[in-house]
Chains A and B, each alone.
Chain A
C-alpha cells in the first residue's frame, strides 16, 4: 500500500513551546488529515485539508497541505501538557480508505 513518512517519530515538549511535525509521501493525494490519539482511545480528527496550499487552523493547531500535494505539516503553538499523545497524518485513497503515517509521539520534557 501507500507509504507515508512521518517525522519526527517522537518529540519532547516544554509547556509554552511551539512544535512542528510533518508528513511526506511519494504519491499525490487530494485529502490530508491530521488525527490525535490519546492512550487507550481511538484517534480523533484535528484538521482536514482538501486543497493544495491550504492553511487551516483549529485553535492552537495549524496544518498546511503542501503545494505539491505530497506533504503536509502540523504546528502546535504554545504547547500545554494535554497536547501529549500520538499525532497521525493520514491520506484518503480510493473508496474513502485512509492510509496512516507511523505517528509522532509527543511527550513532556522531564
Chain B
C-alpha cells in the first residue's frame, strides 16, 4: 500500500540530546513537509522540501534540522537548541502543486 510512514510512534529523550524522527513515503511525491502540533493547537510548519537535495525553513524552524538526500525520505532532527521539543510531529507529502497534502500518523516526542 502507498503511504507515509513515521517511526517510531512514541519517542522519549532526555533534555540535551538530539533526536531524529523518521519519515518515509512510497507515493513518489516530490514535496515533503514537517509540522509540529501542540495540545489543543493547530499545525505549524517546521521545514519543507520541494525536491531532493533542497529544503526551506517554515514558520518555526529554530532548533530543528532536516535533510533530503532521497526522494522518499525526509528525516527531522530535533536538536538540544529547541527549547520546547515535547510535541506531536507530523510529516506530510504532496505530488504536484495542485495536490493536497497527505499526512503520516505522527510521532509523539516527550523530552524530560
- Do the two chains belong together in a single complex? yes
Q: Are B48 and A95 in contact (CB under 8 A)?
A: yes
B43, closest chain A residue (CB): A100
Residues on A with C-beta less than 8 A from B58 are 97
**Which residue of chain B has its CB nearest to the CB of A44?**
B103
Pick the interface stretch among B65-73, B75-83, B94-102: B94-102
Check B104–A1 contact: CB distance below 8 A. Answer: no
Q: Output the nearest chain B residue to A88 by Cβ-Cβ distance.
A: B42
Interface SS majority for chain B: strand
List the B residue with the shortest CB-CB distance to A2.
Answer: B59
- The reply to whether the CB of A76 lies closer than 8 angstroms to some CB of chain B is no
Q: Once bound together, how far apart are the Cα atoms of A88 and B43, in whole Å?
A: 9
Complex interface: chain B residues within 8 A of A105 (CB):
40
- Judging by beta carbons under 8 Å apart, are B42 and A42 in contact? no
Report the separation of the CA atoms of residues A2 and B18 in the bound assembly, to the nearest whole angstrom: 30
Number of residues on chain A facing chain B (CB within 8 A): 23
Tell me whether B100 and A33 are in contact (CB under 8 A).
yes
In angstroms, how far is the closest chain A Cβ from the Cβ of B24? Answer: 14
| Contact yes or no, B41 A102, CB < 8 A | yes
A102 near B48 with CB under 8 A, answer no
Chain B, 45-87, CB within 8 A of any chain A CB: 45, 48, 50, 56, 58-59
Knowing A40-B106, A41-B106 are in contact, say whether A98-B101 is a contact too (CB < 8 A): yes
Apart from the given pairs A44-B103, A103-B40, 15 other A-B contacts in the complex at a CB distance below 8 Å: A1-B45, A41-B105, A42-B4, A42-B6, A42-B90, A42-B92, A42-B103, A43-B43, A43-B90, A45-B100, A48-B100, A88-B43, A96-B94, A99-B45, A105-B40
3 tightest A-B CB contacts, nearest first: A42-B103, A100-B42, A100-B43
28 A-B residue pairings within 8 Å (CB atoms): A1-B45, A1-B59, A4-B42, A6-B42, A40-B105, A41-B105, A42-B4, A42-B6, A42-B90, A42-B103, A42-B104, A43-B43, A43-B90, A44-B103, A50-B98, A88-B43, A95-B50, A96-B94, A96-B97, A97-B33, A97-B48, A97-B58, A98-B33, A98-B45, A100-B44, A101-B42, A103-B40, A105-B40
